[in-house]
Amino acid sequence: MDTPYFDIPAGANAIMEALKADGFESFIVGGAVRDTLLGNAIHDVDIATDCQAKVTTRILIKAGMKTVPTGIKHGTITAVLEDGSYEVTTYRIDGEYQDSRHPEQVTFTDTIEADLARRDFTINAMAYSHDAGLVDPFSGILDLRAKVIRCVGDPKERFSEDALRIMRALRFASELGFMIEPETAAAIHELRERVNEVSRERVRDEFVKLLHGKGAGRIMREYVDVISTFIPQLADLVGLNLNNPLHIHDAWEHSLVTFETIQPRRTEMLLAALLHDIGKGPKALGEEWAKGVDHAEISRRISEEILRDLRFPNYTIKFVGRVIGGHDDVFTPNRAMIKRSLRDFGQVVFLSILDLKHADILAHGPEAAEQVWRIDEIRGIAEDIIIKRECYTLGDLKVSGSDVREAADLEGKQIAKALGFLLDKVIEGEVANDRDELLEVLLGSMPLADSDE
């Protein structure tokens, strides 16, 4: 190989050179090869070698490198170098089966080709070294160019061995904007229930990556049957008529278009958009409709259940729940009302509710979309309030709890009540946010602040 076509990072190069000096071969494998050929940024560089992990450790230490025995049993060590960490793994033939039915035993092998054969997709089963060039026994390079996700070997076998691969296929198709090859796609649909054999955390991690991919809407449209295996409530939205003349889509398509429209594209907002109408499914509504609970509240409760089941952090569950719970509230372009909303929801949640309302309205269809200016008008006022640092929280008030205690001789709950009373007055524009004026108003209305205590 006289013309290298890879820019191997310096650290990886040093590791490969050290192994070579002792007579071993090594390759960059997997994601780094794929992403380099695509011209995408690479995050981690994995190296595969015919050298045993313990010997690799000795060689790298001799070359002055720091090593960590991260997975000796699986043939993996990590070399920590100046420009980053590198996983160096002995050629193996068994995959990393993620479910508990597979014992944690590993079989090593002598050839890079055998190692590549255990990998999930052709685009992930390429290796590169300056000496050997590109090693690509499954024509991954052609699938990269054709933008295709295709299993290495028989898709049904590969998904049966490890159902996490079903989620990985959808995730890579979404991230890279690729199609899934028909036989691989058919196996995904057929074996979709197996996803429930995989730990929820792993499913969640792949799902979140899927959500952030550029093809997320397209993939969820096409594979809603797979997504519904771990979010069963979604299936109820498919084909569901929203019975509103302004809605041009069924509930599922409406959720997808809202998801595709929402900004900013942080995980919590993507989830809120996708799940905002989950409570409109007939089963969900059936339970609570009679009790008069509104759909935003039902959607909030169901979303929180879904996210808890997927082991999302509490912060995410609460945030998404609050945004969904408020998405059907009616806000008007009234300054005092907007300040109360900023106070009650908090600034970030309130602005996020407006973001969701904006996307939700656009996703109804062209007639409703004309109404989006109403939300933007409210957002404009909220932004103005924030920029001008106008008072809408207790913290913004120019009097403190101790001021109130001293001036009006109040204690405990009475203090909180008095401050809330003054904040209301300031929000309504009845009093300026000025210490002397506020204390004067407080003393002047003492029986009010003091009542029912």
In terms of CB distance, is 95 or 155 closer to ligand ATP?
Answer: 95
Contact pattern from residue 10 through residue 49 relative to Mg ion, giving x for each residue in contact according to CB under 5 A and a dash for the rest? ---------------------x------------x-----
Partner whose binding site includes residue 162, from ligand ATP, Mg ion, none (CB under 5 to 8 Å by kind): ligand ATP
What does residue 330 show for φ and ψ, rounded to 5 degrees? -100, 120
Q: Closest-CB residue for ligand ATP?
A: 31
CA–CA gap between residue 344 and residue 322 (Å, rounded): 11
CA–CA gap between residue 403 and residue 293 (Å, rounded): 42
CB-CB contact of 450 with 414 (8 Å): yes
In terms of CB distance, is 93 or 432 closer to ligand ATP?
Answer: 93
| Cα-to-chain-centroid distance, residue 429 | 41
Partner whose binding site includes residue 165, from ligand ATP, Mg ion, none (CB under 5 to 8 Å by kind): ligand ATP
User: Within positions 96 to 135, which residues make up the interface with ligand ATP, using CB under 6 A?
Assistant: 96, 119-120, 124-125
User: Within positions 29 to 58, which residues make up the interface with ligand ATP, using CB under 6 A?
Assistant: 30-31, 43-44, 46
CA–CA gap between residue 384 and residue 363 (Å, rounded): 27
Partner whose binding site includes residue 362, from ligand ATP, Mg ion, none (CB under 5 to 8 Å by kind): none
In terms of CB distance, is 22 or 44 closer to ligand ATP?
Answer: 44
Which range of residues in 141-149, 160-168, 186-194, 242-250 is near ligand ATP by CB under 6 A?
A: 160-168
Q: Indicate the helix (H) or strand (E) that contains 174.
A: helix 164-176
Q: Give the pair of three-digit tokens for residue 207.
A: 């799902």
* Beta strands at 179-180 and 148-149: parallel, antiparallel or unpaired: parallel
State the minimum distance, in angstroms, from the CB of residue 45 to Mg ion: 9
In terms of CB distance, is 46 or 268 closer to Mg ion?
Answer: 46
In terms of CB distance, is 123 or 273 closer to ligand ATP?
Answer: 123
CA–CA gap between residue 193 and residue 198 (Å, rounded): 10
Helix axes 314-326, 267-275, angle to 10 degrees: 50
State the minimum distance, in angstroms, from the CB of residue 119 to ligand ATP: 3
- Return the C-alpha torsion angle 264, 269, 271, 273, nearest 10: -90
DSSP secondary structure code for residue 396 in this structure: G
Q: Is 227 helix (H, G, I), strand (E, B) or coil?
A: helix
In terms of CB distance, is 120 or 136 closer to ligand ATP?
Answer: 120
In terms of CB distance, is 108 or 421 closer to ligand ATP?
Answer: 108
State the minimum distance, in angstroms, from the CB of residue 411 to ligand ATP: 58
State the minimum distance, in angstroms, from the CB of residue 33 to ligand ATP: 8
State the minimum distance, in angstroms, from the CB of residue 36 to Mg ion: 12
Binding residue for ligand ATP (CB under 6 A) from 143, 162, 236, 355?
A: 162
In terms of CB distance, is 32 or 441 closer to Mg ion?
Answer: 32
Which of 273, 245, 267, 237 is CA-nearest to residue 358? Answer: 273
For 226, residues 6+ apart whose C-beta sits below 8 A from its C-beta are: 166, 167, 170, 188, 189, 192, 195
Which range of residues in 75-83, 162-170, 189-197, 444-452 is near ligand ATP by CB under 6 A?
A: 162-170
Partner whose binding site includes residue 222, from ligand ATP, Mg ion, none (CB under 5 to 8 Å by kind): none
In terms of CB distance, is 168 or 357 closer to Mg ion?
Answer: 168
CA–CA gap between residue 304 and residue 306 (Å, rounded): 5
- Using CB under 6 A as the binding criterion, the count of chain residues that bind ligand ATP stands at 14
In terms of CB distance, is 167 or 397 closer to Mg ion?
Answer: 167
* Beta strands at 84-90 and 148-149: parallel, antiparallel or unpaired: unpaired
Partner whose binding site includes residue 71, from Mg ion, ligand ATP, none (CB under 5 to 8 Å by kind): none
Q: Give the pair of three-digit tokens for residue 268.
A: 């919590």
CA–CA gap between residue 60 and residue 67 (Å, rounded): 7
State the minimum distance, in angstroms, from the CB of residue 271 to ligand ATP: 20
CB-CB contact of 12 with 28 (8 Å): yes
List strand residue ranges (DSSP E) for 17-83, in order. Answer: 26-29, 46-49, 66-71, 76-81
Is residue 453 a contact residue for Mg ion (CB under 5 A)? no
Is residue 95 a contact residue for ligand ATP (CB under 6 A)? yes
Q: Indicate the helix (H) or strand (E) that contains 369.
A: helix 366-369
Q: Which residues bind ligand ATP (CB under 6 A)?
A: 30-31, 43-44, 46, 95-96, 119-120, 124-125, 162, 164-165
- Give residues in contact with Mg ion (CB under 5 A): 31, 44
